[in-house]
Structure 1
Amino acid sequence: MLSLLDSIIVIAYFVIVVLVGIRFGQERESMESYVVGSRQVPWLAVLGSLIATEISAATFLGTPGVGYADNLGYLQMGVGSILARFAIAFLFLGAFYKLRCLSIYEYLADRFGGSSHYTAACFFLLSRVMASSVRLMIASTGLHVILGLPFGWTMIGFATLCLIYAGIGGIKAVIWTDCIQAIIFLSAGATMLWVLHDTVGWSQILEVGGETGRLEIFQWIPDGSFWTDSNWFLLAAVFGFINTLAMQGTDHDFTQRMLTCKNLGQARKGIILSGFISLPVAALFLLIGVGLFAYYAQFPDASLPLKIAGEISSVDSDKVFPHFIGTALPNGLKGLLLCGVLAAAMSSLDSALAALSSSIVVDLYRPLLGNTENSQRHVWIARGFMVLIAIVLVSIAWSLQNGGQFIWLAFKIAGVTYSGLLGVFLVGLLTNRGSDRWNLVAMLGGSVCTATLLFLSESKVVDLAWQWPMLFGVSLTFLVGSLPGRPLLKNNASSS
């Protein structure tokens, strides 16, 4: 049970977040205001929101698990990730701002036609539902371990709170509450590292981390075959580039907030700076994992959560951090770290609800029904879809309780649909080729390729590092999509 002080801290956090959402819900509603904030959101707020969404519960709880069980090699992906943000800023955002899109998939409608538009929107809906379900599962698992709350009711509580302020205030509420949440979980992470330093000592953390190889970052040469070693620098950096390109450039959950800036220059500043902030933040949470390993080496705990693989029992690294919060932190600090878990979870869930519901209305409802009037009615329709999406997310998250190590599970699931999305966007942005109907074949082929290779590797039928399926899928989508000659574009074939 939480102490009175911890309870007050958590309640104050909930009140602040909900009030911010209600505040933005008082403004005049239109689809442009609800979906892209009338393009008047300060770029610093967008930057804070990007960081909060990217550093989700998968980072807050999953990354310390990687540091506890493995090493700092996860940072190798950050090299490619930073480079990808420059590509997004100067390639993707330029095209989106030129069209003044409410949804980035409208670019595909302008470049190719309706089939590409609808297919990409459906791919996004599927990928974001799956990825957000993973994040919801991770956060609910964390609270379940910390407080002993029922897993199912924890998920329902998360979804309900996010529905209240995201449904009322739209993207503006999401962005401003994300800024608050980013401050909270970064403060929680820094506090946690200070606690470990005060308890164990930096010298001991560095000594234990060095002796066990947990401080290693770069692996320049593959250990064995380059097809099978997921920690090889070149593979990790290339995957970081491709994955970030897909996540931040073709996933409306992320790009939606970039479209709220006043102009293209501000949007570019936000996405580029987010990369240079996200990398040290990832390092912070990895070091928390190393510190936790040193802590439990010095103060053994027989009650650490365990997992069973076959007949072998081992510590469940993903649950060590929440276990520490629930059992080792004093009153006050426990409330702050608990708010960090809540903030990390809600900052990704609220944006997913807003992006999914707005995409359904903008990309599917309005074009397919030919209904472009009554903007306020569309806002209420988006809110209705938001409720349905929340129910779907809770249902899928329940089924993923034992899906594998948190951080890698999130990457693997997202890669299936990201393969098709990124491939077709690259065809449109990098070539003068492509065809509306052929894009459907390319996207399905790329995603099926990724899913098949992922299934075969997870089933141990083929020995393949987990990054390769998505890399092959993106390549196949791009190659197949580029086969037809230049299409007849809607706007005098000049958009590319």
Structure 2
Amino acid sequence: MSGAGLDLAIIVIYFVVIIGIGLYASRGQKTMETYALGNRSMPWWAVLASILASEISAGTFLGTPSEGYSSRNFLYAQLVIGTIIARLLVAGIFIKPFYDLKVVSIYEFLEIRFGKITRRLASFVFLLTRSLASGSRIYVAAILLVLAWEVMHPEFLTLEPAARFQQELTIYIGAVIVLTFMTALYTTFGGIKAVVWTDLIQVTLMFGSAAYVFFWLLGKTGGWDGFVSSVTQPAFISSGTDAAKSVGQNVKSVLEQEYTLWAALLGSVFTTLATHGTDQDMVQRMLTSKDHKRGQKAVILSGLIDLPVVLGFLAIGILLFRYYDIHVDRRPEHDPGIFAWFMVHDLAPGLRGLLAAGLFATAMGSLSTALNALATTFTKDWYVGYFRPAATSNEQFRVARLSTIGFAIFLALIGIATAWIKLKNPDLRIIPIVLGSFGYTYGSLLGVFLIGMLTKTRGNCTGNMIAMLAGFLVVAVLTDLPNDVWKMVVNHQGLITLPDGTQKMAALPAYKLPDWMPVIEFPWRIMFGTLTTVLVGLCFPRKGAAYVPQTL
């Protein structure tokens, strides 16, 4: 068997096993509760694996090594400090009220606490934002298939730019469709049980393949001494401040940096509170446990495991830099996803197929959880909550299956659009694309949940709508979003001056920001959106009777 044939055989076996497990898990499913929550019968350790599979997406698998490759340090891992703190807060604040009310969609809590309008608005924000984030992740996994195509068809590299763009986009379209179809197949039939059990296998495969690559690279690049010599300083912690600057200048500087200790202790805490406390995709995993204590255990342990996982992927990126510093002739001209490049060009057949299966495992794991959560949210919050309140559990089950297919199509279209944007803008980095999309809206979502969880007498639907809009607008202004949209749509070219004083032709902005105003990086977006939403929402008193969490 040829090398490519062996790789393909391993990948096919992986797909057959995963889909088989998904279909096996579909036995006996006839109700919405079984489809969405698995009758709350899943063991906590399987839920833990599912949470990890949802978190460790293809963006992490390929994007985190790219961060290590470009920076050659572990500063990105600082953000994990905040995620651990935030998970303790999620366990203490969010999970028990969801169990007490026996909600299937967590946005049901907002209706009980505030009213239907808040629930529908929050649900819509989740459906849109999660679709954008999860759809963009499908593109990341497709990178490997595109690079493999280039290796098997070297004439592809000699094409004119326009022809190459068209052919590369066509390959991306095919890859996105295949990955989405395979994932949607077992998710549609198997529901949350299929998601959790396949996630367990996918996480095991991902950890195993990543560990193998780490030690393989370590042996090829001079061992631990060579690795340590390649790490730049500061290696783990950076405050992002400069004693020579004023307080105002340092604040602006910190907000304009992605990976600092301040981003970890503040920005990352708010980000994880939003993703693990107010995102149906993640919380639904926790709600499949038998009780709230097991759900709390799963989310806390997932945070502790995150730190060595992120450190490991960053270390792989640093070793890749050292590997290509030794083998300069094999280094890519630009970073197409350096880990994917390495897998296609420098791993032996068989091992390459195993690692490819690990990549597809991470992509399919995060995609399957997203599809199940999106379908559950649409069914409970819109089909039942708006269109057909009297729907039986069996009817809801059928709608959830159909909406899983619908969201699979929608996410595939987003993945294709992301590929188009990346091909048009090769310098875009993966992690900001995947993590940045929900930064504009999840702050508003978290703010409303915090008002509902932590206050007894504040907040109503009118105030929540105004507060959520204010949160979005503040983040849009602080990230210079209007100018970004203007450049994409109008693309009026002119000379701009770079920080080093040089000039180049680029798209001109619609307006110029004041010099004192920071353009915040993605770890800070949710924090500013949350604080704005809370401050505005607290100005409005509660109207009528409402559920008040017992912890207050």
- TM-score greater than 0.5 by the shorter chain: yes
Q: C-alpha separation between the residues in 1 aligned to 2:74 and 2:291?
A: 37
Counterpart of 1:36, as a letter, is: L
Aligned partner of 2:118 in structure 1 is: 116
Q: C-alpha separation between the residues in 1 aligned to 2:120 and 2:377?
A: 10
**Residues 73 and 219 of structure 1 are in contact (CA less than 8 Å); yes or no, is this contact kept in structure 2?**
yes
Aligned partner of 1:31 in structure 2 is: 32
Q: C-alpha separation between the residues in 2 aligned to 1:495 and 1:236?
A: 27
Counterpart of 2:116, as a letter, is: G
Structure 1 residue 392 and structure 2 residue 410: aligned?
A: yes
Aligned partner of 1:6 in structure 2 is: 7
Aligned partner of 2:307 in structure 1 is: 279
Aligned partner of 1:438 in structure 2 is: 463
Structure 1 residue 253 and structure 2 residue 307: aligned?
A: no
Q: C-alpha separation between the residues in 2 aligned to 1:259 and 1:445?
A: 31
Aligned partner of 1:371 in structure 2 is: 389
Alignment map for 1:96-115 (pairs within 5 Å): 96-115=98-117
Deviation at 1:412, TM superposition (A): 1.4
Aligned partner of 1:337 in structure 2 is: 355
CA deviation string 1:146-196 (max 9, x = no partner)? 444811100000110011100001111001101110001111110110110
Deviation at 1:95, TM superposition (A): 1.0
Aligned partner of 1:311 in structure 2 is: none
Q: C-alpha separation between the residues in 1 aligned to 2:235 and 2:519?
A: 23
The change in CA–CA distance for 1:339 and 1:182 in structure 2 (over 3 A counts) is: same
* SS of structure 1 residue aligned to 2:476: helix
CA deviation string 1:93-130 (max 9, x = no partner)? 01111101101101101111101110110010011001
Q: C-alpha separation between the residues in 2 aligned to 1:488 and 1:365?
A: 26
Q: What TM-score does the superposition give when structure 2 sets the normalisation length?
A: 0.84
Q: C-alpha separation between the residues in 2 aligned to 1:15 and 1:388?
A: 23
CA deviation string 1:429-464 (max 9, x = no partner)? 111211122111111221222223223586684542
Which residue of 320, 333, 343 corresponds with 1:325? 343
Aligned partner of 1:423 in structure 2 is: 447
Aligned partner of 1:450 in structure 2 is: 475
- Gapped runs of 5+ residues in structure 2? 151-167, 485-508
Deviation at 1:204, TM superposition (A): 5.0
Greater shift, 438-447 or 158-167, is seen at 438-447
Structure 1 residue 488 and structure 2 residue 544: aligned?
A: yes
Which residue of 519, 523, 539 corresponds with 1:464? 519
Counterpart of 1:145, as a letter, is: L
Alignment map for 1:2-401 (pairs within 5 Å): 3-70=4-71, 71-148=73-150, 150-203=171-224, 205-210=226-231, 212-213=232-233, 216-223=235-242, 225-229=250-254, 230=257, 231-301=259-329, 304=332, 306=333, 315-316=334-335, 319-401=337-419
Counterpart of 2:455, as a letter, is: T
Q: C-alpha separation between the residues in 2 aligned to 1:436 and 1:110?
A: 11
Deviation at 1:397, TM superposition (A): 1.8
Aligned partner of 1:309 in structure 2 is: none
**Residues 159 and 394 of structure 1 are in contact (CA less than 8 Å); yes or no, is this contact kept in structure 2?**
yes
Q: C-alpha separation between the residues in 1 aligned to 2:239 and 2:536?
A: 32
Q: C-alpha separation between the residues in 1 aligned to 2:40 and 2:23?
A: 19
Which residue of 475, 489, 496 corresponds with 2:531? 475
**Residues 61 and 142 of structure 1 are in contact (CA less than 8 Å); yes or no, is this contact kept in structure 2?**
no
Q: C-alpha separation between the residues in 2 aligned to 1:301 and 1:379?
A: 55
Q: What TM-score does the superposition give when structure 1 sets the normalisation length?
A: 0.93
Deviation at 1:270, TM superposition (A): 0.3
CA deviation string 1:252-288 (max 9, x = no partner)? 0000010000011100110000000011101100000
**Residues 226 and 232 of structure 1 are in contact (CA less than 8 Å); yes or no, is this contact kept in structure 2?**
no
**Residues 91 and 429 of structure 1 are in contact (CA less than 8 Å); yes or no, is this contact kept in structure 2?**
yes
Q: Which has the larger radius of gyration?
A: 2
Counterpart of 2:32, as a letter, is: M
Q: C-alpha separation between the residues in 1 aligned to 2:548 and 2:479?
A: 41
**Residues 353 and 389 of structure 1 are in contact (CA less than 8 Å); yes or no, is this contact kept in structure 2?**
yes
The change in CA–CA distance for 1:152 and 1:2 in structure 2 (over 3 A counts) is: farther
Q: C-alpha separation between the residues in 2 aligned to 1:303 and 1:206?
A: 18
Q: C-alpha separation between the residues in 1 aligned to 2:208 and 2:184?
A: 25
CA deviation string 1:380-410 (max 9, x = no partner)? 2112212221121121222222162111222
The change in CA–CA distance for 1:200 and 1:391 in structure 2 (over 3 A counts) is: same
Deviation at 1:207, TM superposition (A): 4.3
Deviation at 1:197, TM superposition (A): 1.1
- Gapped runs of 5+ residues in structure 1? 307-314
Q: C-alpha separation between the residues in 2 aligned to 1:22 and 1:107?
A: 32
Q: C-alpha separation between the residues in 2 aligned to 1:253 and 1:9?
A: 29
Aligned partner of 2:429 in structure 1 is: 405
The alignment's C-alpha RMSD in Å is 2.0
Deviation at 1:199, TM superposition (A): 1.0
**Residues 416 and 451 of structure 1 are in contact (CA less than 8 Å); yes or no, is this contact kept in structure 2?**
yes
Greater shift, 398-407 or 334-343, is seen at 398-407
Q: C-alpha separation between the residues in 1 aligned to 2:357 and 2:60?
A: 15
Greater shift, 35-44 or 453-462, is seen at 453-462
Counterpart of 1:173, as a letter, is: A
**Residues 281 and 370 of structure 2 are in contact (CA less than 8 Å); yes or no, is this contact kept in structure 1?**
yes
Deviation at 1:2, TM superposition (A): 5.1
Q: C-alpha separation between the residues in 2 aligned to 1:486 and 1:414?
A: 28
Counterpart of 2:266, as a letter, is: V
* SS of structure 2 residue aligned to 1:228: helix
**Residues 186 and 194 of structure 2 are in contact (CA less than 8 Å); yes or no, is this contact kept in structure 1?**
yes
